[in-house]
Structure 1
């Protein structure tokens, strides 16, 4: 009979809470990247994004101890995530400018999810690159947080990984659809991603300052 100790139950609970927060951020990135490509490519971007996130989490989970010994790694991850934020912001701005131009010409707003974007859509490759870089940064943050909460309980790590995949799949699909109708959601998501990046940069910078004795 499968039994779970109290400490393992607490670890699983903590891991799920962390995944609810961090997997949601990852889903926002994947969803925003998917919203910028042609409708027929969106499912591919979401699948690639989730697949890459799973691979990154498995790799990072296997070398957690080594990662914890690399001082300032969170700083690098945060800077990479800021680059992704800039690319996503640029896509949102171009989309908004093109929409204004379309409405000024009498075309009216496009509200259908399947409508073609009034601005040149990003390629599948560009979207996947954005998602991959974000996955590396966010998976690093996720694994470091989850590893601390799991406290060497492998069951908690496995459950956390499975739970995060489900959250990303549901969240990214929903966000990609909502962005086609309500562009303001993209800016809210962007602010959340910037916040995650800022926290990673703050934490990594403090680690370097401590190492330098400042």
Structure 2
């Protein structure tokens, strides 16, 4: 039988996931935008599945992660590197190779960018979900599953939009850059407060 605390925690987790999944979906959409049909589906599936495993691992040690000084700063710097790679890709023309539409960089680099960006951006999401879930481990797992599904669904839509409207990719890159700067600022402040 479902208790009120369980349902309340689940509702909180779903709301957090809906709020925070957007940034991750933008990253996935940007990473796969130049891939064609089957490769795009593979990249989204593998990247999002890897993200699910990363998030589950992070969630299991969420409370210990709070104690690691500089983790947000490191995540922000890693995400800044992803932004640089995406910026360089956006500056090159949209040309597809002869081998069935493989994008410059290809399938595996796109999957790699998804994983690195998700690792950088997931910490806040995982900590918020873990805090809302409380002692309900099943709510934590359900919340992570919901966030992964939302990210995959939204990323597919975003990638299609990026195909048609290139300027949206630049806005997406600015969103991801903003998240990186926020992580660097918050993480840097945290490090400075412990140093000083």
- Taking structure 1 as the reference length, what is the TM-score of the superposition? 0.82
> How far off is 1:40 after superposition?
3.5
Q: Report the 3-state secondary structure (helix = DSSP H, G, I; strand = E; otherwise coil) of the residue aligned with 2:135.
A: coil
Q: CA–CA distance in 2 between the matches of 1:52 and 1:140?
A: 15
Task: Confirm or deny that 1:136 pairs with 2:123.
Answer: no
Partner of residue 27, structure 2: 29
Matches within 5 A, 1:114-153: 121-153=104-136
Partner of residue 109, structure 1: none
- Please provide the CA RMSD for this pair: 2.2
Deviation per residue, 1:148-180 (Å, 9 max, x gap): 232333243122112102101211111111111
Matches within 5 A, 1:163-178: 163-178=146-161
Q: Report the 3-state secondary structure (helix = DSSP H, G, I; strand = E; otherwise coil) of the residue aligned with 1:136.
A: helix
Q: CA–CA distance in 2 between the matches of 1:199 and 1:25?
A: 13
**Residue ranges of structure 2 left out of the alignment (5+ in a row):** none
**Retained in 1: the 8 A contact 2:34–2:163?**
no
> How far off is 1:182 after superposition?
0.5
Partner of residue 183, structure 1: 166
Partner of residue 2, structure 2: 3
- Taking structure 2 as the reference length, what is the TM-score of the superposition? 0.89
Q: CA–CA distance in 2 between the matches of 1:132 and 1:180?
A: 22
**Residue ranges of structure 1 left out of the alignment (5+ in a row):** 100-114
> How far off is 1:116 after superposition?
5.2
Q: CA–CA distance in 2 between the matches of 1:65 and 1:84?
A: 27
Partner of residue 92, structure 1: 90
Tell me how many residue pairs correspond in the alignment: 193
> Among residues 152, 175, 179, which one is paired with 1:192 in the alignment?
175
> Among residues 172, 191, 194, which one is paired with 1:208 in the alignment?
191
Q: CA–CA distance in 2 between the matches of 1:155 and 1:68?
A: 21
CA distance 1:69–1:32, change in 2 (3 Å): same
> How far off is 1:79 after superposition?
0.7
> Radius of gyration: which is bigger?
1
Q: CA–CA distance in 2 between the matches of 1:20 and 1:185?
A: 21
> How far off is 1:142 after superposition?
1.6
> Among residues 72, 76, 79, which one is paired with 1:78 in the alignment?
76
